[in-house]
């Protein structure tokens, strides 16, 4: 490609009276792009909810109740029990994940839910806690 024949100003000459308006429009455009990018990034951040309750249950009974609670909350995809933790996801998209940990050293049950929307995340948390405490 021959670069010698390119015009000096490919956008053409901007009349002197329009330079200020053109500059203001460019600043506005840049501000909009930055603002939209920030808004999109914030919208994609996960929402987390956590709770902790005391328990006197032995580990096996705690894990059994945790499994029932996870299934009742619909967190059955990739469902697993690993040591003292039960985990699962809402569906194959993994938009919502939940964990229930039976911490026998501290005699506590720890609930954690992460998802994309606060209302749904809180609803899953409520369902998990109610299911565990039945």
CATH number of the domain within which 52 lies? 3.30.310.50
Do 35 and 67 lie in one domain? The reply is no
**Residue of 134, 72, 59 lying closest to 98 (CA atoms):** 72
pLDDT tens string 61-94: 999 999 999 999 999 999 999 999 999 998 877 7
Residue 5 lies in a domain: no
Kindly report which listed range (16-20, 34-38, 76-80, 116-120) carries the lowest average pLDDT score.
16-20
CA distance 49 to 46: 10
Model confidence, pTM: 0.67
pLDDT at 121: 93
Residue 29 has pLDDT above 70, yes or no: no
pLDDT at 17: 53
Distance in angstroms between the alpha carbons of the first and the last residue of the chain: 75
pLDDT at 24: 53
Do 74 and 123 lie in one domain? The reply is yes
pLDDT tens string 93-107: 778 999 999 999 999
Do 31 and 79 lie in one domain? The reply is no
Residue 111 lies in a domain: yes
pLDDT at 16: 52
Cα 127 to the center of its chain, rounded Å = 19
Do 82 and 108 lie in one domain? The reply is yes
Do 79 and 28 lie in one domain? The reply is no
Tally of domains in the chain: 2
**Average model confidence (pLDDT) across the chain:** 80
CA distance 80 to 85: 8
pLDDT tens string 48-65: 999 999 999 999 999 999
């Amino acid at each position: 490609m021959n670069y010698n024949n390119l015009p000096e100003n490919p956008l053409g000459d901007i009349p002197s009276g329009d330079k200020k308006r053109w500059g203001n429009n460019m600043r506005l455009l840049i501000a909009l792009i930055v603002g939209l990018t920030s808004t999109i990034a914030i919208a994609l951040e996960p929402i987390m909810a956590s709770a902790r309750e005391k328990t006197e249950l032995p580990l096996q009974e705690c894990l059994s109740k945790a499994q029932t609670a996870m299934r009742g909350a619909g967190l059955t995809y990739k469902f697993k029990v690993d040591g003292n933790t039960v985990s699962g996801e809402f569906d194959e998209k993994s938009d919502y994940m939940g964990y229930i940990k039976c911490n026998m050293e501290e005699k506590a049950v720890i609930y954690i839910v992460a998802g994309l929307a606060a209302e749904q995340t809180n609803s899953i948390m409520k369902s998990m806690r109610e299911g565990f405490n039945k």
